[in-house]
Homo-oligomer: A and B are copies of this chain.
Amino acid sequence: MNQPLERLVEAFRSLPGVGFKTAQRFAYHILKLSSEEVKDFAESIISAKKLIKFCKECGNYTDKEICNVCSSRQAKIICVVAEPKDVEVMEKVKFFRGVYHVLNGTICPLENRGPNDLRIKELLARINKYCTEEVIVATNPDVEGDATAMYIARLLKPLGVKVTRIAQGVSMGTDLEYADEITLTRALESRTEL
């Protein structure tokens, strides 16, 4: 392989989940495009990095000072998520109409990530500023996500803020036979009256 091609394959290999074969396929695809198309492709990468910054309120990616969600909705209810991509997921649901707060990670002692590495201070400041009534913690239902939720709950409850967590139970369409025990336990614990 010639050197510029090798460099291109290496670049694509750095993307998450991309191995050598896939990177090679991407590279050959790029070489088949017109010069215009390739310039456009590279431009979209450069300009995304240049234009996108963090929203001063919620910490999500935006190309403005304050993102569209924060500038158009009230902060009476704040939904706390771990990563910017989680905002995307929650927004798709169209059920929640409050604002978000991106923590930029979860508490993970194994990877040396404590509460001070997350945007907790900023969350407190927002709650104070907007007299937020409820904080919904929508971190992933795993050990780290649960620990982070617990930490936030202990921190905020003394301030008189209602802290809730998205429910855990069996997913829609699941065959009970294939549900794991922890999920079933949580589904039983949080059973609702009909």
Known: A24-B88, A31-B61, A85-B24. A2 touches B52 (CB 8 A): yes
- Contact partners of A38 in chain B: CB under 8 A: 45-46, 49
- In the complex, the 8 A-B pairs of residues with the closest C-beta atoms, listed nearest first: A8-B48, A42-B42, A11-B44, A38-B49, A4-B51, A4-B48, A2-B63, A42-B45
Report yes or no: B85 in contact with A7, Cβ–Cβ below 8 A. no
Complex Cα spacing A7 to B3, Å? 29
Q: Among B30, B46, B49, B63, which residue has its beta carbon within 8 angstroms of that of A48?
A: B30
Please tell me if A39 contacts chain B, counting CB pairs below 8 Å. yes
Q: Which of A37-63 contact B (CB under 8 A)?
A: 38-52, 61-63
Kindly state the interface size class of chain A when it binds its partner: 35 or more
Asked if B49 and A33 sit within 8 Å, CB to CB, the answer is: yes
With A25-B16, A33-B49, A61-B31 as given contacts, are A10 and B88 in contact (CB-CB < 8 Å)? no
With the chains together, A11 CA to B25 CA distance in Å? 15
What residues of B have a CB within 8 angstroms of the CB of A30 in the complex? 45, 48-49
Q: Which chain B residue lies CB-closest to A7? A: B44
Complex-state Cα separation, A49 to B10, whole angstroms:
15
Interface residues of A in 5-28 (CB under 8 A from B): 5, 7-8, 10-11, 14-17, 22, 24-28
Q: B residues within 8 A CB of A27?
A: 48
- Flag if B45 contacts A8 (CB, 8 Å): yes
* A and B contact pairs by CB, cutoff 8 A, 19 listed: A2-B62, A2-B64, A3-B63, A5-B61, A5-B63, A7-B47, A8-B45, A11-B45, A14-B41, A15-B29, A16-B26, A24-B88, A27-B48, A38-B45, A38-B49, A39-B46, A41-B45, A42-B42, A42-B43
